């Protein structure tokens, strides 16, 4: 496919309520959408690094600028037949994984459209339905959180993830476990702690958590290995796994027993599949995370999550969980009448609705040959 035109959009998608984590609070999700065209066909990609460089060093305004000034010009006019070729074209530019992911995911969408093949099949998946987990950020009170968890437990969610940060930590998890001793629960620290907090993590062993997600610094592997040696609860890495090489190193160092893979954080679906494969060979189970993308980006996460080594329920949400109206259509919905909450892979990928895209638009640029 010769890449003939690229449209980039920087958008801010308002949430129903702010998303609170160890790194801050977002009232809208800022993302970069890429529409990549070849002949009469086009595919959409999405990457949501958020408004500020707090989850990772990237941010939506920067990802848009890097895409406009460097990545799009490197791809325009090129004939790209595999995801690896696209990554090689972009490899001269260091980092900028979220920005690269907008192009990589757009390329995969275009590729599937050309082949008339569902994305999950193109990625190598053999299943088309997966269970999903429930996630809860920091709430106004413990009672609010317990009520939210109660709702998720009664609806049969197979696991629950809780944001965990200083001031919302041990007493919170103690209260949750007192009220809900049985469900599979894990916590996500979003790199809010350091190795000096070892005592806190040792105390967490009593709560039978499925894992502790990204307890230490966003770019650390070695302290995580030291922590994992000293606690029983598995460590899961998220922010630290920014590329294939980091996954390889984390496995060698023993930094974690699980890896959360987000296409945006690792530069797109091509690298996400490569990390999945490395983990599978090493016996490290994975699960798919998300960045509260619109249905366009969520559909890519859903397709990825169909691969075999994604054995822990994914962070994928029905559109209505976070948005009054998803910017893209069709929205993400739970499957009707499953034993437990599940989503199915899309056969036709969701695309932005033009008037909703215009409402959310911060900036837009068109580049063509």
The residue count for binding Mg ion (CB under 5 A) is 3
Is 232 among the residues known to form the active site? no
Q: Least distance to Mg ion from the beta carbon of 189, Å? A: 8
Instruction: Report CA torsion sign: 200, 201, 202, 208.
Output: positive
- Pick the catalytic residue: 100, 161, 163, 242? 163
Decide: helix, strand or coil at residue 71. helix
Q: Which of 293, 261, 274 is nearest to 87 (CA)?
A: 274
Contact characters 38-77, Mg ion, x per CB under 5 A: ----------------------------------------
Contact characters 146-185, Mg ion, x per CB under 5 A: ----------------------------------------
- Residue selected from 26, 135, 188, 223 as contacting Mg ion according to rule CB under 5 A: 188
Spatial strand order of the sheet with 134-136 comes to: 134-136, 160-163, 185-188, 212-213, 235-237, 258-261, 286-288
Q: Least distance to Mg ion from the beta carbon of 214, Å? A: 5
Q: Least distance to Mg ion from the beta carbon of 238, Å? A: 4
Is 100 among the residues known to form the active site? no
Rounded CA gap, 104 and 58, in Å?
A: 17
Asked if 149 and 176 count as a contact pair (C-beta separation under 8 A), the reply is: yes
Give the DSSP H or E segment for 149: helix 142-154
User: What are 158's two structure tokens?
Assistant: 């197979």
Q: Least distance to Mg ion from the beta carbon of 39, Å? A: 39
* Number of CB atoms found within 10 A of residue 27's CB: 11
Q: Which of residues 205-244 bind Mg ion (CB under 5 A)?
A: 213, 238
Measured from each CB, the residue nearest to Mg ion is 238
- Pick the catalytic residue: 100, 161, 242, 262? 262
Q: Least distance to Mg ion from the beta carbon of 65, Å? A: 25
Which of 113, 224 has the CB closer to Mg ion?
A: 224
Which of 169, 213 has the CB closer to Mg ion?
A: 213
DSSP 88-100: HHHTTS-S-HHHH
User: What are 345's two structure tokens?
Assistant: 């892979």
By the criterion CB under 5 A, which residues form the site for Mg ion? 188, 213, 238
- Residues with catalytic annotation? 163, 262
């Amino acid at each position: 496919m010769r890449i003939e035109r690229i449209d980039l959009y920087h958008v801010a998608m308002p949430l129903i309520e702010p998303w609170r984590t160890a790194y801050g609070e977002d009232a809208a999700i800022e993302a970069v959408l890429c529409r990549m065209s070849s002949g009469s066909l086009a595919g959409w990609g999405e990457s949501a690094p958020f408004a500020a460089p707090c989850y990772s060093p990237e941010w939506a305004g920067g990802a848009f600028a890097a895409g406009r000034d460097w990545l799009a010009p490197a791809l325009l006019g090129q004939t790209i037949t595999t995801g690896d070729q696209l990554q090689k074209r972009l490899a001269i530019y260091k980092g900028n994984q979220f920005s690269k992911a907008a192009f990589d995911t757009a390329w995969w969408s275009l590729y599937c459209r050309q082949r008339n093949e569902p994305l999950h099949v193109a990625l190598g998946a053999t299943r088309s339905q997966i269970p999903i987990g429930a996630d809860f950020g920091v709430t106004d009170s413990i009672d609010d959180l317990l009520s939210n968890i109660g709702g998720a437990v009664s609806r049969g969610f197979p696991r629950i993830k809780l944001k965990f940060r200083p001031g919302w930590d041990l007493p919170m998890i103690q209260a949750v476990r007192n009220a809900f001793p049985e469900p599979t629960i894990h916590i996500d620290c979003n790199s809010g702690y350091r190795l000096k907090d070892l005592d806190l993590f040792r105390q967490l062993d009593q709560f039978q958590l499925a894992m502790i997600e990204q307890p230490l610094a966003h770019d650390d592997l070695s302290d995580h290995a030291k922590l994992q040696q000293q606690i029983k609860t598995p460590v899961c890495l998220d922010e630290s796994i920014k590329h294939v090489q980091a996954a390889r190193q984390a496995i060698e160092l023993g930094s974690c027993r699980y890896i959360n893979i987000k296409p945006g954080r690792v530069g797109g679906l091509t690298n996400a599949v490569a990390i999945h494969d490395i983990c599978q060979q090493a016996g490290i189970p994975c699960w798919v995370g998300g960045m509260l993308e619109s249905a366009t980006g969520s559909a890519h996460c859903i397709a990825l999550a169909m691969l075999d080594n994604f054995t822990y329920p994914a962070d994928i949400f029905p559109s209505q969980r976070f948005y009054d109206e998803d910017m893209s259509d069709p929205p993400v919905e739970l499957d009707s009448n499953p034993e437990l909450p599940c989503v199915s892979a899309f056969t036709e990928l969701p695309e932005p609705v033009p008037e909703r895209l215009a409402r959310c638009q911060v900036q837009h640029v068109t580049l063509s040959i």
